[in-house]
Structures are given as C-alpha cells and as structure tokens.
Amino acid sequence: MTTNAEYGIEGNTFPRGWFVIAEASELGKEPLPLRFFGKDFALYRGESGRVVLLDAYCSHMGTHLAGASSASLAIEGKQIEGDSIRCPYHGWRFDPDGVLDDIPYHEGPCPSKGNLRSYPVREVMGCIMMWHDPEFGEPEFEPPTLAEWDDPQWVKWGPLDHLGKLDIHPIEIVDNMADARHLGPTHGAPCEYFENEWNNHVYMQRQGGFHKGYQAMLRSRTWYTGPGVLLSRQVFGDIKTIELIANTPVDEGTVQVWHGALYRAPALPITDEDRAAAREVQAGALQAFSSDFEIWKNKRAATSILAVRNDGRFSQGRTWYKQFYAAKDQLPAIRERLNGKITLGDLPPPPAEHIEFEETF
Ligand code: FES
Ligand SMILES: [Fe+2]
C-alpha cells in the first residue's frame, strides 16, 4: 500500500468526483454494506425506487445499518420503510436525507445529533455512482452518460466485470491515459498517432494503431469524467464498442475496479447472435484490460517515473489527477495551467480518418 504523500499528492486523503460504488442490479430488498474512501456506507433502494447512500453506523449505538441480516427486522423485510431505513438493532428510523425521524419507544422530537450523512447518488448506465467530496459540497459536474445506453441497437454490458480490489494507488490506473508507449508492448497495438487533452475535470486521449490480435486498425477516443470513471469509444474493422472502466478508492493506496463494454448490433432487432457477439467483445476488451491489471498487481509503486523525452506526458496527467485532492479554491489555477492539447514528439496528431471517426461516433 502506497500513500498519497509518496506520490506527492497534497490535500485531502481521497479525491472528489463521481465514483461507481455498485452495479444497480446488486440492489435488492436488503441494504448493501459498502466500504470506500476509508469509510463504511449503507446503500439501499427505497420503495419509490430512489437509491440512498448513508453513513453505515447508526448514531444510537453504532450498528451497521446493512450489517445485521439475521435481525428480526431484516428477516421480516421491514428495515426499509418507504424511502427510509430502520436500524436493525433498536429500530431507529432515518429518512433518505439521513434525518433521524422515529425512535419507536421515544416520544417527542428525535435528537438532531442522531442524524446521519446522506450522499448524492445517481443511477447511470446500470451503475450506482456517488459524489464523493471531502468538503461535502454539491456536485461540481454531472456523471458521464451515453446516448447509446438508451439506443435499442446497443447491447448493454451486463453484468459488469467486477474485478475486485487492487493494492495500487489509483493514480497509476489513470497513468494509462498518457501512456502512449505501452500500447504496443502491452496491448499489441502500437500507436501510430496520439493526443491528450485536458479540459477542467475531463481528461481525453485520442489514439490509433494497427491491432495485431484484431488484425485491424483500432481507433479510440477515451476520456475520464473526473478521477474515477473512464469511457472509451473504439472502432476496429466493422465493430463499434464503448468501454467503461471505473476505479473507486477503498482505503489509501487500494482501489476497486469495474469493467464493461457496450456493443452495437449491426441491425435491429437484436438477436441472440448479437448478444453473444456483445459478450465476446466485452471479453476481448476485458482481456486487453487484464494485461494492464496484471502489471498493476505485480509492479512496485511508480511514485516517481524515470521518463525520457518521447514518453507519455505522465507528469501533466498526474497534475490533472491531483487536482481532485486539492481544495476547491485551488482548481482555477491548476486548470488554467494545464488545460490544452499535447502530442508526443515523434507521433503525429490524430489524422483526418480519426477526426471523421470522432465526428460520427
Ligand atoms: S444501534 Fe441503531 S437503533 Fe440502536
Ligand atoms: Fe492499457
């Protein structure tokens, strides 16, 4: 486990942004215990369908709201009441904003000291995402969405690949965005053109190269919306796919990772064959990602990088990443310095074919 300080990350212990915390399909009738950002949470779906994320521990005696499935209240399915939740130990009730609003054996108002914190959550693209802000501010931007998610010609990921926890600092996952030089040795698709662009909370990569495995030109436009959610539009041969990679810090120096891919069927209606092709495309994308994953699992921490002239621009990439740990009032200065596009010495910028791909997909 490597600490923020070793990477020169200053400010908060965990970054600000939207983060995947669960797949929507994981939410049944019971609350789900989660641990991220060095904290424990209880996630549940209220009877109206609203998704609620509260601090895990009841203010009465510290019971984990999602940690007592054998309690009578839980067995009877009575923990969730409307969009509120009752603690399984003595039945105290918290509304979706975390307000303690009923103590079954107490008359008069509930102590406001008993309120829990409730966190902004969104259900997007089959994922539950939370807004994590160490300063508890309102979301500064919205989580990414895709028009394709609601397009019937696109086969959805489902389920996501749950890759579990990795003992690596998430900054090293985001290093991939600048890393033009690993695409050949690691993924078998040496890049022929390359560009990074930083625009406030968005980090973009445009690249293309011949993929040995697919025996086709692979073009991709990949972007982070904040530090935790990557989407990547990719075309190779007649395949169009959109990949998702989500990283969410668990504790300092450890991260949880999810992966998925959407696949565009050649025509409507979608057939079983298309669904099988979609699973194959997701598996192919996972295999490529697994090559990164294996490296991350076994490498030592790159707290400093011995970069040569034509290496990826890791340093700018890390500056972009570190902004999410900084106090909000520092953001304008960081962004003003960083925003813009860069190419890499000997690699050309995206050619006309890439620009056409980007304009049409
Ligand atoms: S510990 Fe939660 S109601 Fe008592
Ligand atoms: Fe990679």
How confident is the model at residue 1, as a pLDDT? 75
Do residue 28 and residue 90 come from a single domain?
yes
How confident is the model at residue 356, as a pLDDT? 96
CATH of the domain at 217: 3.90.380.10
Cβ of 61 below 6 Å from ligand 1: yes
Distance (Å, whole) CA 2 – CA 167:
8
Please indicate, yes or no, if residue 188 is contained in any of the structural domains: yes
Please indicate, yes or no, if residue 164 is contained in any of the structural domains: yes
Q: Per-residue confidence at 112, pLDDT binned at 50, 70, 90?
A: very high
How confident is the model at residue 104, as a pLDDT? 97
Please indicate, yes or no, if residue 142 is contained in any of the structural domains: no
Of 54, 61, 94, the one to substitute when testing ligand 1's pocket (max ligand atoms within 8 A of C-beta) is 61
Do residue 227 and residue 128 come from a single domain?
no
- Ligand 1 centroid–CA 69 distance in Å is 14
Please indicate, yes or no, if residue 5 is contained in any of the structural domains: no
Q: For residue 157, give the DSSP letter.
A: P
Distance (Å, whole) CA 309 – CA 48:
56
- Ligand 2 centroid–CA 61 distance in Å is 46
- Ligand 1 centroid–CA 33 distance in Å is 16
Residue nearest to atom 3 of ligand 1 (CA): 90
54-71 confidence digits (pLDDT tens): 999 999 999 999 999 999
Mean pLDDT of 95-109: 97
| Total length of the chain | 361
Cβ of 64 below 6 Å from ligand 1: no
Residue-number span of the structural domain to which 164 is assigned: 147-360
Mean pLDDT of 314-326: 97
186-197 confidence digits (pLDDT tens): 999 999 999 999
17-43 confidence digits (pLDDT tens): 999 999 999 999 999 999 999 999 999
Do residue 182 and residue 250 come from a single domain?
yes
- Ligand 2 centroid–CA 232 distance in Å is 12
Residue 166 forms beta bridges with which residues? 255
| Residue 117 CB-half CA count within 13 A | 15
Mean pLDDT of 346-350: 94
How confident is the model at residue 253, as a pLDDT? 84
Q: Per-residue confidence at 351, pLDDT binned at 50, 70, 90?
A: very high
Mean pLDDT of 171-199: 97
How confident is the model at residue 345, as a pLDDT? 81
* pLDDT cut 70: percent of the chain above it: 100
Cβ of 116 below 6 Å from ligand 1: no
Distance (Å, whole) CA 95 – CA 99:
5
Residue nearest to atom 1 of ligand 1 (CA): 61
330-344 confidence digits (pLDDT tens): 999 999 999 999 999
* pLDDT cut 90: percent of the chain above it: 97
Q: Per-residue confidence at 158, pLDDT binned at 50, 70, 90?
A: confident
Cβ of 92 below 6 Å from ligand 1: yes
Q: What tokens appear for 357 in the block?
A: 């791909």
Do residue 119 and residue 152 come from a single domain?
no
How confident is the model at residue 240, as a pLDDT? 95
Cβ of 59 below 6 Å from ligand 1: no
Looking at the CA of residue 103, tell me the nearest atom of ligand 1.
3
Please indicate, yes or no, if residue 44 is contained in any of the structural domains: yes
Q: Is 92 exposed, middle or buried (0-12, 13-18, 19+ CB in 10 A)?
A: buried
Boundary residue ending a domain (102, 132, 162): 132
Q: How many domains does the chain have?
A: 2
271-301 confidence digits (pLDDT tens): 999 999 999 999 999 999 999 999 999 999 9
CATH of the domain at 73: 2.102.10.10
Boundary residue ending a domain (132, 161, 193): 132
Average pLDDT, the chain: 96
Please indicate, yes or no, if residue 346 is contained in any of the structural domains: yes
Q: Which ligand is nearest to the CA of 68?
A: 1
Cβ of 87 below 6 Å from ligand 1: yes
Do residue 288 and residue 338 come from a single domain?
yes
Q: Which ligand is nearest to the CA of 175?
A: 2
- Report the SS3 class of residue 223: strand
Do residue 86 and residue 158 come from a single domain?
no
Do residue 108 and residue 174 come from a single domain?
no
Cβ of 89 below 6 Å from ligand 1: yes
Boundary residue ending a domain (132, 160, 181): 132
Please indicate, yes or no, if residue 139 is contained in any of the structural domains: no
Cβ of 90 below 6 Å from ligand 1: yes
Distance of CA 211 to the CA centre of its chain: 26
